[in-house]
Amino acid sequence: MRTNAALQAVLQGRFASEFGLRPQLPPDVLPLGIPEVDALCGGLPRGALTEITGPASSGCTSLLCAALAQATADEETCALVDVTDAFDPESAAAAGVVLPRLLWIRCNGNAEKALRAADLLLQAGGFGLVAMDLADVPPGDGRRISLSSWYRFRRSVESTRTIFLVSGQEPYARQCASLALEAGPVQAEWSGRQLEGVWLPVRRRKPVGVAMEARLRWKPEIAG
């Protein structure tokens, strides 16, 4: 009677490729188009939940719009669950978001409806990026979102090419997020009555690795 090892040795002779180590495929990611952040995190992983956190004026909405701009420019269909109705189409379009390819769902401050809307979008499938903007939701309310909801979102996007991107003041998804970035606060550079530029620090909270922080300097191009 042949042992398992002997049987394997026979099969390995005929089907060597099945028993060898398979080359690891590069992860499927969406670059943000911001070299410093892409060098920091390698891009947003597909089929996973990514979380961007930061206080008010931290730049996390700018990073969210950069991701939307990159995905819509690649002709992907995207969706934004806007919990507090704060999305500014004019500003987003100026940042490169192709508005006709972005489904905008305004929840008028109702976080429960926002969660159900995100659920519907992820179940529908086919979206390149689904973003949920919780940036103006008070941290207390954000923390009340059950971990099972985040698990369900993570499971919904697994084995798909959809990126689920969440922005908020605090990390709400915790261990369900594959990538966690922390932004801000922005530091403005003033020259008298003129805003010269803003510094945006971005830190990678998860996964922990060598490169942990990047600093971007943007011209403001605001108002006027």
Partner 1 sequence: MFACLVGPGAAGIDWLEEFTPRYERAGEDAVVLDLAGMGRVLGAPAEIARRLAERAGGGVRVAVAAHRDAALYAARGFAGVTVLAPGEEASRLGPLPVELLDPPAELLETLDRWGIRTLRDLAALPATGVAERLGAAGVRLWKLARGEGLSPFRPEAEEARCAASLELDHPIDALEPLSFVLSRLLRDLHDRLEQRALAVLSLRVSLQLDAAPVHERTLRLPVPLRDPLTLLKLLQLDLTAHPPTAAVLAVEMEAEPAPPRPAQHGLFLPPSPEPERLELTLARLAALVGEGNVGAAELLDTHRPGAYRTVPFTAGAGGEAHPRRPRLVFRTFRPPRPVRVVCADGVPEAVLSRGARQEIAATAGPWRTSGDWWRGNAWARDDWDVAFADGTLHRLSQRSGRWFLAGRYD
For residues 9 and 94, which CB has a smaller minimum distance to partner 1 in the complex?
A: 94
CA distances in angstroms from 104 to 5, 87, 112, 116, listed in the order given: 57, 9, 17, 14
**194 lines the binding site for partner 1 (CB under 8 A):** yes
Query: Within 135-164, which residues bind partner 1 (CB under 8 A)?
Result: 135-136, 161
Give the one residue of 43, 44, 53, 76 binding partner 1; rule: CB under 8 A.
Answer: 76
Query: Which residue among 132, 186, 202, 214 contacts partner 1 (CB under 8 A)?
Result: 186
Residue nearer to partner 1 on the CB measure, 176 or 216: 216
Residue 116 is a binding residue for partner 1 (CB under 8 A): yes
Pick the piece of the chain touching partner 1 (CB under 8 A) from 15-23, 83-91, 150-158, 174-182: 83-91
- The C-alpha atoms of residue 180 and residue 53 are separated, in whole angstroms, by 8
Residue whose tokens read 């600093």: 215
Estimate to the nearest angstrom the gap between the alpha carbon of 209 and the chain centroid: 18
Burial (CB count <10 Å: 0-12, 13-18, 19+), residue 149: middle
The C-alpha atoms of residue 144 and residue 160 are separated, in whole angstroms, by: 27
Tell me the per-residue interface mask from 11 to 40 with partner 1, x by CB under 8 A, - otherwise.
---------------------xxx------
